[in-house]
């Protein structure tokens, strides 16, 4: 075991998701009770590190938090120390500055021997300069989108799928009663894992994901065919990043101050309008939005989060540096943290789940 580790910092970056608190709890309790290591919580992701908003975590701080959604430390998906927005220029355009040196000073001032960073690909990208500067960082993959490179699953994903599935299940009754097409827009910018899993679990008739461009004519023919049967309705599970062949993703907002300036949204409404216009079938839209990221984590996510948090602590204490905990083929492992930077785990068009869905006559719009 590594005896040089006496104080560690923990931060949660990016969007909130179910299971973060279970990770914080596992790290903190394993550090204190097994290794005698002090844990320092960093507030609001990297923003807290830039502004030196830091405080010690004890076992009392993490007692009873496993069932809570969100993160007791707070999080931030705007702050990238390498590209920190310090204001605007005379033309109103954002001004960015590299404040990595501030982070390094605060790490030294608080005598942190290592950092455990909990987040997705954006958080790992923000962490890479600290690794290059010699800070020992261990990553824990977190995102409901399940799109972090190198791991088969991220905590938060299973809860998001359960939430989306429940919503899709509930839409069946109103769709059937009114003989409508119900389009449910779920999260998934570039990766369609939520739409794929929730769509299959709910028995959705159409599943649209970013990895497979759709043709509106194909979707319309499919739902028209269903209207002539006794059921007379259709459920469409649609990722926010889905797009038509030759088209672009639907953009809801652009915020140049954020690391990911483009906010997607609106494809569900666009689809419903096009389907109704082309077929005459009454169509409605439901956008799940942030409820997918909130709420109590499922039992499976609590177990996974506890395993990942504990594994991260063990990696630190055995001398590992610059690694990220992963799950591969059902086993815990780890990879180089910097391998995640600039990459996303997308759904393969040859994924067995897609083959299974097609076999039960699910339409992907292609």
What's the N-to-C CA distance of the chain in angstroms?
54
Annotated catalytic, 145?
A: yes
Q: Which of 16, 121, 145, 147 is catalytic?
A: 145
H or E stretch including 185?
strand 181-186
The CA-atom distances, in angstroms, between 358 and each of 240, 258, 267, 290, 352 are 21, 38, 23, 29, 10
- Between the alpha carbon of residue 138 and those of residues 10, 126, 238, 255, the distances in Å are 10, 13, 34, 30
Interacting residues of 346 by C-beta distance below 8 A, sequence separation 6+: 147, 190, 191, 192, 210, 211
Task: Check: CB of residue 209 under 8 Å from CB of residue 186.
Answer: no
Whether the CB-CB separation of 135 and 316 falls below 8 Å is answered with no
| Cα–Cα distance for residue pair 47/257, rounded to 1 Å | 14
Distance CA(335)–CA(152), nearest Å, equals 12
Q: Are 133 and 104 in contact (CB under 8 A)?
A: yes
List the catalytic residues: 145
């Amino acid at each position: 075991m590594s005896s040089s580790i006496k104080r560690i910092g923990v931060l949660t970056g990016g969007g909130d998701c179910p299971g973060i608190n279970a990770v914080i709890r596992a790290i903190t309790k394993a550090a204190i009770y097994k290794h005698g290591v002090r844990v320092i919580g960093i507030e609001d992701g990297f923003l807290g590190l830039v502004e030196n908003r830091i405080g010690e975590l004890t076992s009392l701080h993490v007692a009873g938090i496993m069932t809570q959604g969100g993160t007791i430390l707070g999080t931030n998906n705007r702050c990238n120390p390498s590209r920190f927005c310090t204001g605007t220029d005379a033309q109103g355009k954002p001004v960015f500055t590299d404040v990595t040196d501030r982070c390094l000073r605060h790490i030294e001032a608080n005598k942190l021997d290592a950092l455990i960073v909990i987040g997705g690909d954006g958080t790992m990208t923000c962490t890479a300069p600290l690794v290059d500067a010699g800070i020992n960082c261990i990553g824990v993959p977190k995102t409901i989108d399940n799109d972090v490179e190198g791991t088969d699953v991220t905590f938060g994903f299973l809860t998001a799928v359960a939430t989306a599935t429940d919503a899709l299940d509930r839409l069946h009754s109103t769709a059937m009663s009114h003989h409508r097409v119900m389009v449910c827009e779920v999260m998934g910018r570039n990766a369609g894992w939520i739409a794929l899993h929730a769509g299959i679990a709910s028995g959705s008739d159409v599943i649209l994901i970013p990895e497979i461009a759709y043709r509106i004519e194909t979707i319309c023919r499919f739902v028209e065919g269903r209207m002539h049967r006794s059921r007379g309705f259709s459920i469409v599970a649609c990722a926010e990043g889905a797009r038509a062949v030759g088209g672009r993703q639907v953009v809801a907002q652009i915020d140049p101050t954020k690391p990911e300036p483009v906010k997607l949204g609106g494809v569900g409404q666009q689809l419903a309008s096009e389907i109704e216009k082309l077929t005459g079938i009454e169509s409605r839209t439901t956008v799940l939005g942030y409820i997918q990221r909130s709420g109590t984590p499922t039992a499976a996510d609590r177990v996974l989060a506890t395993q990942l948090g504990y594994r991260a602590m063990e990696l630190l204490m055995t001398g590992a540096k610059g690694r990220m905990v992963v799950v591969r083929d059902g086993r815990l492992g780890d990879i180089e943290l910097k391998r995640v930077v600039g990459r996303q785990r997308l759904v393969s068009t040859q994924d067995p789940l897609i083959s299974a869905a097609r076999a039960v006559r699910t339409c992907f719009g292609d």
